[in-house]
Structure 1
């Protein structure tokens, strides 16, 4: 899909080194290279890349199991933030979930991640629960957010 000056496409194994670089820049508990290789083989998972002029600028993933979808992660490299790439990735992940007949989509987010919270709220996600001490690096809770897809 074409969005402004970037393209959203499927993640390939050739993207994983750049994905893990962005992962380390974005999260205190980054996923490993092997985790992403495994995810590309997972029949429940779909992973996308935001490609800016041949560079991996961001990525996101979703699992769809029966009627429920779960955003596994979304991140944009710091130098590419605030250009609509995160929103575009979310939009495409939601389309995948709908195409696979999911009726709701959910995700976890740190209460301290204000930019992500604001973006999710603007896309129609509502807080539906708290996962106590979800993040093992500092014991921070996670806000569970849900959006209906019908």
Structure 2
């Protein structure tokens, strides 16, 4: 039997949180974006592993890190007080020809409904414009009512219902003009 050494310093739930008592209700102006550092990648992987749909699929921290490492050139990290509070992956090409593709957008649960998600989405929209795209597309689980509502309120419309290659479940393919 082989044993694998586990680094005790890496825990999925051990992500630092900004000082909540000193944060304004609208965090959008405080959100700063950057490309991920190696340290950021660990925080982003922990955020992903603790968020649905990855959490409900049983994705481990190691699985998340592997997936995100493959997407690293497309990952944009959102920080408040130098702490990772969310991220978005935005690719030049995706399932809709000629449209940028937003693969993931994740915000720390305790900071949702405080402007962070919209700041992350606006950053993704600008990134797509910087890629000279006129449209952005995404896929979302139709059962994820808060996400569907968020995207609809941001101007996205459903263009198709597709079957996920990974899960075999239905997903809404949504897009919006930039």
The verdict on a shared fold, with TM-score over 0.5 as the criterion, is: yes
1:84-123 Cα offsets, whole Å, 9 max, x none, are: 1111111111111111111211000011111111111111
Match of 1:113 among 132, 144, 149: 144
- Pairing of 1:70-85 with structure 2 (within 5 A): 70-85=101-116
In the TM superposition, what is the alpha-carbon distance from 1:49 to its structure 2 partner? 1.4
Counterpart CA distance in 2 for 1:133 and 1:7 is 32
Tell me the TM-score normalized by structure 2.
Answer: 0.72
Counterpart CA distance in 1 for 2:155 and 2:114 is 19
Equivalent residue, structure 2, for 1:25? 50
Match of 2:41 among 5, 9, 16: 16
The structure carrying a bigger strand percent of its residues is 1
Counterpart CA distance in 1 for 2:118 and 2:99 is 20
1:3·1:88 contact (CA, 8 Å) conserved in 2? Answer: yes
Counterpart CA distance in 2 for 1:69 and 1:48 is 14
Q: Which has the larger radius of gyration?
A: 2
Q: Unpaired segments of 5 or more residues in structure 2?
A: 1-26
Divergent runs of 4+, >4 A: none
In the TM superposition, what is the alpha-carbon distance from 1:56 to its structure 2 partner? 0.7
Counterpart CA distance in 2 for 1:64 and 1:26 is 25
2:46·2:64 contact (CA, 8 Å) conserved in 1? Answer: no
Q: Unpaired segments of 5 or more residues in structure 1?
A: none
Equivalent residue, structure 1, for 2:8? none
Q: Report the RMSD for the aligned CA atoms in angstroms.
A: 2.0
Q: How many residue pairs get matched?
A: 142
The yes-or-no answer on 1:145 pairing with 2:174 is: yes
Tell me the TM-score normalized by structure 1.
Answer: 0.84
